[in-house]
């Protein structure tokens, strides 16, 4: 499941036609599916409308047999769920949710990580993939938290990007 980029024009607008073309090309490859708006997709730099438009364009351009994963993590559980619900309405198969990072002093506490992911997983219409990316968020999800979250029936995987082989 390669994470795809979001192409931009030089002035900073999303280049939707190029995105469509890229997804059509990736859909002809042997990959099982695509991740739209992971960190490589630069979703953090997009407006809410641009995030929605990127998800829509990518989904419409993807081959029907590809598993489509939507990066829907935003700073609040409420906004994460709104974007996840939109992705579900488009036909995405799963939501990849990064840990919020703006209030990392608070989010770095295990009980807050558990509360965030459980809130999202309890209400998400899509299966949830945890996205742990400490280089971008400024903190690392402890193994113990990941183990507890793995018990949730709507959490299906983790994208572990800490770079720690021991942790994996």
Catalytic residues: 159
Q: In this structure, are residues 37 and 73 in contact, taking their beta carbons and an 8 Å threshold?
A: no
Two tokens at 124? 């998400």
Two tokens at 100? 């919020």
The CA-CA-CA angle for residues 46, 52, 57, to 5°, reads: 105
Per-residue DSSP letter, 14: B
Per-residue DSSP letter, 139: S
Per-residue DSSP letter, 45: G
Residue pointed to by tokens 């800490």? 162
**Rounded-to-integer distance, Cα 113 and Cα 137, Å:** 12
């Amino acid at each position: 499941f390669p994470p795809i980029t979001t192409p931009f024009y030089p002035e900073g607008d999303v280049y939707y036609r190029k995105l469509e073309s890229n997804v059509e090309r990736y859909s002809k490859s042997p990959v099982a599916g695509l991740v739209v708006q992971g960190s490589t997709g630069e979703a953090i730099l997009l407006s809410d409308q641009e995030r929605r438009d990127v998800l829509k364009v990518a989904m419409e351009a993807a081959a029907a047999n590809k598993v489509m994963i939507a990066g829907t993590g935003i700073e609040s559980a409420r906004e994460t769920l709104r974007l996840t619900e939109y992705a579900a309405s488009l036909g995405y198969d799963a939501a990849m949710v990064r840990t919020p990072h703006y209030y990392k002093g608070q989010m770095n506490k295990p009980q807050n990580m558990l509360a965030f992911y459980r809130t999202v997983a309890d209400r998400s219409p899509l299966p949830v993939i945890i996205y742990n990316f400490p280089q971008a968020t400024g903190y690392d999800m402890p193994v113990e938290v990941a183990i507890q979250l793995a018990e949730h029936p709507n959490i299906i995987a983790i994208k572990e990007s800490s770079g720690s082989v021991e942790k994996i």
